[in-house]
Amino acid sequence: MRSCGVALALAVGTAFAQSYPVKPVRLIAASSPGSAVDIVARSIAQKLAENLGQQIVIDNRAGAGGNIGAEIAAHAPADGYTLFIGTPAHAIAPSLYRKPGYDLARDFAPVSQLITGQYCVVVPPSMPAKTVKELIALARRRPGELNFASAGVGNATHLAGELFKSMAAIDIVHVAYKGSGPALTDLLGGQVQLMFPNLVAALPFVPNGRLRMLAVTGSTRSAALPAYPTVAEAGVPGYEVTSWFGLFAPAGTPAAITGRLNDAVRATMRAPELRDRLAAEGAEPHASAADELARLVRTEVAKWAKVIKVAGIKPEG
């Protein structure tokens, strides 16, 4: 009888997947408009909608370091009509919050990685530092006077700054914001002196001179900005922080549905116009198998737990 029940469930799931989707799909971006997650979500939404045959509606749910949007997505019906973009912030959460409201590995079904990318070191044009070495020298002359903005306590933009602070042996002060958008706004206005934003979020402000980029944070230079050195090249050997975005559905979503979504993501990421657009934004398209994304999540959770411990950041509420 059990085998008959399993067979029936698989048949129902397959039939559902063949008709899926029959209505618009909500894509939760757990960040503010103008953030890297928001930019990428809007970049892929149109082409993904074409491949699924239904509208993709972006739902920005910023706050609590990305936890608000993630928790909403985790508790949504597991029917394929609520999807979620996970980032390093959501792999950081288990080590940063006692009760984040979700567990990325347990409460979500991985669909596919979307992009890989980098963060960067940017300053407003009013800052005298034009290189990483000059920034470090300035910080050493003015200990405790330079503020670096982040998208929130424990966010990857915060931990990238803490890692830089530690490895460069400087005293810079962290200022947390509720998302990358507000942090970049104050950086542009000169209220804070530097930031380590996702390259996707920062790039629109660099060519017009509104922000000065000093370096990128990956192990290699960005294909979009090959003239800019890595932080490791520019004066902090061994420094490396990379970014990734992945597409998830609530746990329990039928495998036939996540498989349909994976196929749609792969087709989406092959589109030359989308690849060109993402490359111009500093992101590298990277569709993957679901199990590859699951392995990445496990690796990231372990990595960031170590960084948080070294930085002495205490779990919050």
- Averaged pLDDT for residues 271-284: 89
Q: Given a cut of 50, is residue 7 above it in pLDDT?
A: no
Find out whether the peptide bond into 21 is cis, omega within 30 degrees of 0. yes
Q: Residue 280: name the closest of 45, 150, 117, 89 by CA.
A: 117
Domains of the chain with CATH codes: 2-115+242-311 (3.40.190.150), 120-234 (3.40.190.10)
Please give the order of strands across the beta sheet that includes 120-123: 173-176, 147-150, 194-195, 120-123, 212-216
Q: What's the distance, CA 63 to chain centroid? A: 14
Helix 272-280 vs helix 255-270: angle between axes, to the nearest 10 degrees? 80
Q: Are the C-beta atoms of residues 180 and 36 closer than 8 Å to each other? A: yes
What is the pLDDT averaged over residues 166-183? 92
Residue 272: half-sphere exposure toward Cβ, Cα within 13 Å: 0
Closest CA to 108 of 74, 82, 80, 81: 74
- pLDDT of residue 17 exceeding 70: no
Burial 77-93 (b: 16+ CB within 10 A, else e): ebebbbbbbbbbbbbbb
User: How confident is the model over 71-130, as pLDDT tens digits?
Assistant: 999 999 999 999 999 999 899 999 989 889 999 999 999 999 999 989 999 999 999 999
> Rounded to 5 degrees, what are φ and ψ at 12?
-65, -45
pLDDT reading at 6 higher than 90? no
Average pLDDT, the chain: 91
Sign of CA dihedral 211, 212, 214, 219: positive
2 by Cβ neighbours in 10 Å (0-12 / 13-18 / 19+) ranks as exposed
How many other C-beta atoms lie within 10 A of the C-beta of residue 217? 26
Residues contacting residue 223 through CB under 8 Å, at least 6 positions apart:
279, 284
What pLDDT score does 14 carry? 56
Percent of the chain with pLDDT over 90: 74
Contact call for residues 198 and 180 (beta carbons, < 8 A):
yes
